[in-house]
Amino acid sequence: MGIGLIVLGLWPGLLQACAEGINDVSKLLFMRMGAGRSRGKQKPMEAYWFALAGVMMILLTLLAYLQR
């Protein structure tokens, strides 16, 4: 999980592409249900903290393993 967070934080545009894909699917579902919902384009997400969270998760896991 930590490595996955690091990849999300360091791969440019990966998190934004995932968010846009989820937004597109939700638009399709709402159109099929007859509810018209429109949102403007959102600003790009800052994803560097995902990488920091991944590093912290790996370090905490190693620390817990060594304490055992």
d(CA 38, CA 28) in angstroms, rounded, equals 11
Does residue 15 form part of some domain?
A: yes
Q: What pLDDT sits at residue 35?
A: 61
Does residue 61 form part of some domain?
A: yes
Does residue 10 form part of some domain?
A: yes
Q: What pLDDT sits at residue 66?
A: 94
Instruction: Count structural domains, the chain.
Output: 1
Containing domain of residue 16, as a range? 2-36+47-67
Q: What pLDDT sits at residue 64?
A: 93
Residue 38 or 10, more confident: 10
Is residue 8 within 8 A of residue 15, CB to CB? The reply is: yes
Does residue 22 form part of some domain?
A: yes
Does residue 18 form part of some domain?
A: yes
Give 13-48 pLDDT, tens digit per residue: 787 788 888 888 888 888 777 665 555 556 666 778
Residue 3 or 33, more confident: 3
d(CA 22, CA 32) in angstroms, rounded, equals 15
Q: What pLDDT sits at residue 43?
A: 62
- CA-nearest of 44, 46, 47, 42 to 8 is 47
Does residue 26 form part of some domain?
A: yes
